[in-house]
A and B are shown apart, each in its own frame.
Chain A
């Protein structure tokens, strides 16, 4: 009985849907705070464009990526606008899976931060519009540093950080430093890639051979494991962004190196106990400043062959425009605007006043260069990842090994050897070399 009712109901709904003349856009997006804000403010867009209706599908990052990749590769046509990361954009752009974005003078594509824009451009064509960008930087407890008599410079080095960690390490109240450890190419490997970069290493050499047993890798990972073993919190090998955010907000971490967006959370008195004591600096460096801080952006893209290109373009340009940022500022205040995309945001005096970390964040983003982030020359694009399809599987395999080394289940050498084997395996299968 219920089933019959349900079918009638469903049929009715479908008929109602068909009767509408408006273009419906299905938008797949990730559920970070800025995106959720955009969802709320999209009513303004719908009001200004009554012939376009928006439908949102919000998913967790990993699931989103799987979903949109499966859809675009099988030409499923489920989504009219996809939120993709800086990792997918160059790969899919090169494959011709994305629609080229045409922007006008009012949009001012030159206002986009150059590092981010170039990462989304293939062959001179822009394939995705950045909605939110981030780099990584150091966040530390100024009160604890002062008490230890240490002044943290704007561009610290890793030895300095290790020293500070030792001085402020005071378990169980505070742990010297908290860093990511959970296996995942976007979890612990995002951070570790930057660490390896700054120690002078790279993922693949110019012949695409994995370099995981090279000296920079060994030095970097040994340093990481020792640092966290001595001055890190328990459970580090399962910690990623959210776990460490919780720890930092409750005052358990003396230092944290992670995404710049974290700065807005840890300095927000509504969610952080230590909001006023947090200070910011650039990500630490070791042998070279290249690739010491990562670059990432969430972007809106339109699948190639879409039937609704015009409507989709309208929304994409609206959501990534200067006007949108102004809208968010008006509704929620300058501290909550999506950052990391446009020079004009950082130039705004209100933004600088509202966001203490603005200057540090801009400096971090501007210093990141996905095409030149390693000391030896690399064949791949990306600071904390390599923009090749095989990277996800390689990243998690290596990430698992690093997590094991951190947990003390295996030695650093054994972990690196196993990682090298796993990476070589994938690369050989994909045909990069025999």
Chain B
């Protein structure tokens, strides 16, 4: 009986998620094997693997997969490394700590489309953007971010938006560290580097896993930023898998191919997740 109650607690979450997942998933599976284009309601019938074939033979397909993984990897790396650094920096008290925390967290509250527009027009524009002015101040020619470094520009925008999230999680984790252990180590004369290595970093293991997994989920479906700033270009330099799905779903209105693409994205995500879990997931079980 004692074992049963806790498992019952698990039930609502599992049940709702199951329903939530099953119905759209089944529908998506169904759509992916039929011909279903919103603009051609008279074209119906079983399509077999046609939709999948069409999706993966898109000329930009290979590039989009690479770009997706690059985007994922870069943003995760940047936000985790910088997030830990910033969290460590503000871990100890200093003047105006509360205000600094709010300043650091606020970029996360900005809506992604606004974020994208802001970076494109106010910061990165090579003529009237702020970054161009800074470059000019130092006598260097302004960098044409969106033309020459499209994927990097998107990575910068997205990292900026997600860094506060990582910082918040790490901040929370650091605050829950055992103070006495830290004091003891310090009094024993441990250097900051040693403290980092033996106390801080191990403690952050689980939070890093959380941040990585959550960012993985969200970063996979990023396309608003790409659509607003570079339109996937120049060429397909900043096209990712979500953009390809978007092209099929909301430009072609081909729900069949879009569903096939969505399923492919799930497979890709699971592969990436398994890979990442191997790297950081051991901390799940600690």
Q: Do chains A and B touch in the complex (CB under 8 A)?
A: yes
Query: Which positions in A face B, CB cutoff 8 Å?
Result: 62, 66, 69-70, 73-74, 91, 95, 172, 182-184, 187, 233-238, 243, 246-247, 250, 252, 389-390, 392-393, 396-397, 399-401, 403-404, 406-407, 409-410, 415, 418, 421-422, 425-426, 429-431
Main secondary structure of the interface of B (DSSP, over half): loop
Does B147 lie at the interface of the complex (its beta carbon under 8 Å from any beta carbon of A)?
yes
Question: A238-B147, A392-B251 are contacts. A243–B125 as well, Cβ < 8 Å?
Answer: yes
Interface 0/1 of B106-130, CB less than 8 Å to A: 0000000000000011000111100
Interface 0/1 of B185-197, CB less than 8 Å to A: 0000000000000
B234-A237 in contact (CB<8A): yes
The 8 closest A-B pairs by CB, nearest first: A404-B235, A183-B231, A73-B38, A407-B234, A404-B234, A389-B39, A238-B146, A392-B251
Question: A70-B38, A399-B233 are contacts. A246–B147 as well, Cβ < 8 Å?
Answer: no
- CB B158 to nearest CB in A, in angstroms, measures 17
B250-A238 in contact (CB<8A): no
**Nearest A residue to B142 by beta-carbon distance?**
A234
**Nearest A residue to B129 by beta-carbon distance?**
A235
A243-B234 in contact (CB<8A): no
**A95, B41: Cα distance in complex, Å:** 10
A409-B127 in contact (CB<8A): no
B232-A396 in contact (CB<8A): yes
**A411, B10: Cα distance in complex, Å:** 58
Does B159 lie at the interface of the complex (its beta carbon under 8 Å from any beta carbon of A)?
no
- CB B37 to nearest CB in A, in angstroms, measures 8
**What residues on A are CB-neighbors of B126 within 8 Å?**
233-235
Q: Most chain-B Cβ atoms within 10 A of its Cβ — which of A69, A91, A389, A410? A: A389
Question: A235-B147, A237-B147 are contacts. A182–B247 as well, Cβ < 8 Å?
Answer: no
B253-A234 in contact (CB<8A): no
| One of B127, B148, B232 near A407 (C-beta < 8 A) | B148
B253-A69 in contact (CB<8A): yes
**What residues on B are CB-neighbors of A400 within 8 Å?**
60, 231-236, 239
**What residues on B are CB-neighbors of A172 within 8 Å?**
127
**What residues on B are CB-neighbors of A429 within 8 Å?**
54
**A130, B227: Cα distance in complex, Å:** 28
**A3, B191: Cα distance in complex, Å:** 51
A-B contact pairs, 21 of them (CB 8 A): A69-B38, A70-B38, A73-B41, A73-B253, A95-B39, A183-B231, A236-B147, A237-B233, A243-B125, A389-B39, A393-B247, A396-B232, A399-B231, A399-B233, A400-B232, A404-B237, A407-B148, A407-B233, A418-B59, A421-B59, A431-B43
A238-B120 in contact (CB<8A): yes
Question: A234-B144, A243-B121, A422-B59 are contacts. A389–B253 as well, Cβ < 8 Å?
Answer: yes
B231-A182 in contact (CB<8A): yes
Does B32 lie at the interface of the complex (its beta carbon under 8 Å from any beta carbon of A)?
no
Question: A234-B142, A392-B252, A407-B147 are contacts. A183–B38 as well, Cβ < 8 Å?
Answer: no
- CB A416 to nearest CB in B, in angstroms, measures 13
B237-A390 in contact (CB<8A): no
- CB A395 to nearest CB in B, in angstroms, measures 8
A396-B235 in contact (CB<8A): no
**A236, B233: Cα distance in complex, Å:** 12
A403-B231 in contact (CB<8A): yes
Q: Most chain-B Cβ atoms within 10 A of its Cβ — which of A172, A235, A389, A400? A: A235
B127-A410 in contact (CB<8A): no
**A252, B237: Cα distance in complex, Å:** 28
Q: Most chain-A Cβ atoms within 10 A of its Cβ — which of B58, B121, B146, B251? A: B251
A69-B233 in contact (CB<8A): no
**What residues on B are CB-neighbors of A238 within 8 Å?**
120, 146-147, 229-231, 233
**A235, B233: Cα distance in complex, Å:** 12
**What residues on A are CB-neighbors of B127 within 8 Å?**
172, 233-235, 247, 252
| One of A95, A234, A396, A409 near B237 (C-beta < 8 A) | A409
- CB A294 to nearest CB in B, in angstroms, measures 19
**Nearest A residue to B141 by beta-carbon distance?**
A234
- CB B209 to nearest CB in A, in angstroms, measures 32
**Nearest A residue to B37 by beta-carbon distance?**
A389
Question: A234-B127, A238-B146 are contacts. A396–B231 as well, Cβ < 8 Å?
Answer: yes
Interface 0/1 of B209-252, CB less than 8 Å to A: 00000000000000000010111111111010000000110111
**A393, B148: Cα distance in complex, Å:** 24
**Nearest B residue to A69 by beta-carbon distance?**
B253
**Nearest B residue to A252 by beta-carbon distance?**
B127
**A247, B252: Cα distance in complex, Å:** 33
**A410, B59: Cα distance in complex, Å:** 15
**Nearest B residue to A389 by beta-carbon distance?**
B39
**What residues on A are CB-neighbors of B142 within 8 Å?**
234
**A421, B121: Cα distance in complex, Å:** 33
Does B40 lie at the interface of the complex (its beta carbon under 8 Å from any beta carbon of A)?
yes
**What residues on A are CB-neighbors of B229 within 8 Å?**
238
- CB B181 to nearest CB in A, in angstroms, measures 40
**What residues on A are CB-neighbors of B233 within 8 Å?**
182-183, 237-238, 399-400, 403-404, 407
- CB B119 to nearest CB in A, in angstroms, measures 11
**A69, B54: Cα distance in complex, Å:** 23
